[in-house]
Chains A and B, each alone.
Chain A
Amino acid sequence: MSEVNQAEQHDILKKVDPAPWKDVPLVLNNRSYKWVTDKICGIVESKTPTWWWWCFITALCIASFTGMGLVYLVSTGVGVWGNNNPVNWGWAIVNFVFWIGIGHAGTLISAVLCLLKQKWRTSINRASEAMTVFAVLCAGIFPLFHVGRVWFAWWLFPLPNANAIWPQFRSPLEWDVFAVSTYATVSILFWYMGMIPDMAVLRDRATQTWRKYFYGFFAMGWRNANNHWRNFEMAYLLLAGLSTPLVLSVHTIVSFDFAVANLPGWHTTIFPPYFVAGAIFSGFGMVLTLLLPVRAAFGLRDLITQKHIDNMCMITLATGSLVGYAYAMEFFIAWYGANSYEGFAFINRAFGNYWWSYWIMISCNVICPQLFWFKKIRENTPLVWIISIFVNVGMWFERFVIANTTLSRDFLPSSWGYYSPTVVDIFTFFGTFGFFSVLFLLFLRFLPLMPMCEVKSVMPQANPHADH
């Protein structure tokens, strides 16, 4: 190809008359830069909408359930949860894995799609990163309070103390402490760093003094100079590179919580990839659940286009199918491995004491996302939103199935039991949705919802080499 000179190439193109490649625009209706700035800053600068207050107050009320549940737990003891022998983990681990999994889509969108130069990520990455940070906060609540005496939670860190108490480094639960705290740190850094140029825009447009100080403080003197941009871009790229392994490693280590234990149904090598696929699946489910209403509420149809929704649906479909494959493969290996305990664990999963949760999981995670094969369904936004809710429900049940079917039916029938959550379990988990919503609503109200500079840089005006 290199030997063909450019003039000849053009002649060839004239002769064969190729069909023009239609790039779907990422910002519709030929919007200008000013429109993007006004739209995104307008969300933060305009008067607080009434619906925001209603949502915020409702979310606060729901969040208080977690508050009350935790106060009751700390003042009474961890026995107020339904965890008991043999199901020692109960809802605590289920809720922890559920929330931590949701965070993964944010990191995938911001880091992996950045390295793969997927330009469509620009209008959804900020909100997904926010989702990641808030989901990790919700996840942290459960192991933190499950230790019982939460004021000793700092013992989880290898800090020298007078009692010579040292964490057990051979336990994957300890690895979780490091994996999740690294994950939280890097996610917050990534989220904040990306916001600096947008904070500067909000600072420059601000009319109220507190806004000037608030955004001015966080913008760290950003002036849009090219000298800033080149360091910003390099730092962004490096952070993307550093957080890409985290997409895989965090949920791998979470899966080790189970896989390292010698219990049938848990002790399998498929767990790390299966958990990572599930995490991305649940994360994209949550991104859709959050962004479709945001898109409607703020009129962002030109920025979050059908192409974005299509892509998110297709990733959900792909990861949902991977998860379905993993479910099937677990059954196959249980039979093929000819281990009677393993075989029992899986027959028990599908037809035993928790059969209903298994079939909720299968229908929500494997069957539901298959609907995304159809363009008609992907274009029906309310339906996509409903399916995304099913994905969230299904992924919670996946963790419930894994944790509870195995623990309630282990090797010795004499120690079998049936686990049910208490009302405190239910309230504490229910409240985390409120806690998450409170944080997300504050984010919508006070921080730039989309990275304006990144959205602008995928618009045709940004190309310095184009004819105009």
Chain B
Amino acid sequence: MSEVMDIKYAAAATFDSAKDLYDAAGKVREKGYKNWECFSPIPVHGLDAQMGYPRSKVPRFTLAGGFTGFFHWYAHCLVYE
């Protein structure tokens, strides 16, 4: 951890490596913070779990889109003949 800024509303810190960020994220989660975020130029492997994020919702939207397409096809090609 190279630098910590302490102001009234928020705190930010910069890290030199993916490992430092990963370790720090674990500590912040353990402290029970609610409103926080990690920024990195690359997706850091395992950081989701380390931050305590649930699984992404993207697959649900994808599945919903798939079903919409399927029913569209079903209604058009099979039912409406």
A contact residues vs B (CB 8 Å cutoff): 33, 37, 201, 223-227, 229-235, 238, 242, 452-453, 456-457, 461-468
Contact = CB atoms under 8 A, between A and B. Distances in A.
Contacts of B38: 225-226
A231 B58 contact: yes
B45 interface: yes
Interface string B24-63: 0000000000000111111111111001010011110010
A181 B52 CA distance: 40
Classify chain B: how many residues form its interface, as a range.
20 to 34
B45 A464 contact: yes
A224 B40 CA distance: 6
Nearest to B25: A226
A465 B18 CA distance: 8
Contacts of A453: 41-43
The residue in A223, A226, A235, A453 that gathers the most chain B C-beta atoms within 10 A of its C-beta is: A226
A330 B53 CA distance: 55
Given A233-B56, A462-B44, 19 more contacts: A33-B41, A224-B39, A224-B40, A226-B39, A226-B44, A227-B53, A229-B44, A230-B43, A230-B53, A231-B56, A234-B58, A235-B62, A238-B62, A462-B18, A464-B19, A464-B45, A464-B46, A465-B22, A468-B19
Nearest to A239: B62
Contacts of B62: 235, 238, 242
Contacts of B46: 464-465
Nearest to A158: B76
* Top 7 A-B residue pairs of the complex, sorted by shortest distance between their CB atoms: A464-B22, A229-B43, A234-B56, A464-B18, A457-B42, A226-B38, A234-B58
A451 B58 CA distance: 22
A457 B43 contact: yes
SS of A interface (majority): helix
B17 interface: yes
Contacts of B43: 226, 229-230, 232-233, 453, 457
Contacts of B53: 226-227, 230
SS of B interface (majority): loop
Nearest to A467: B19
A34 to B, nearest CB: 10
Contacts of A452: 41
A226 B37 contact: yes
5 contacts: A226-B43, A226-B48, A462-B42, A462-B45, A463-B18
Contacts of B21: 464
B62 to A, nearest CB: 5
B41 A466 contact: no
Contacts of A463: 18-19, 45
Given A231-B56, A238-B59, A224 B41 contact: yes
Given A235-B58, A464-B47, A468-B17, A223 B42 contact: no
Contacts of B58: 231, 234-235, 238
Contacts of B39: 223-226
Nearest to B40: A224
Nearest to A466: B19
The residue in B38, B39, B41, B53 that gathers the most chain A C-beta atoms within 10 A of its C-beta is: B41
A197 to B, nearest CB: 8
B19 A227 contact: no
Given A235-B58, A238-B59, A461-B18, A456 B47 contact: no
Contacts of A231: 56-58
Given A226-B40, A453-B42, A461 B17 contact: yes
A468 B53 CA distance: 26
A232 B40 CA distance: 13
A452 B46 CA distance: 20
B17 A229 contact: no
A229 B40 contact: yes
A452 B42 CA distance: 9
Nearest to B23: A464
Nearest to B46: A464
Contacts of B22: 464-465
Contacts of A33: 41
A231 B18 CA distance: 19
Nearest to A37: B41
Contacts of A201: 41
Contacts of B51: 226
Contacts of A462: 18, 42, 44-45
A238 B56 CA distance: 12
A225 B39 CA distance: 4
A211 B17 CA distance: 30
The residue in A33, A462, A467 that gathers the most chain B C-beta atoms within 10 A of its C-beta is: A462
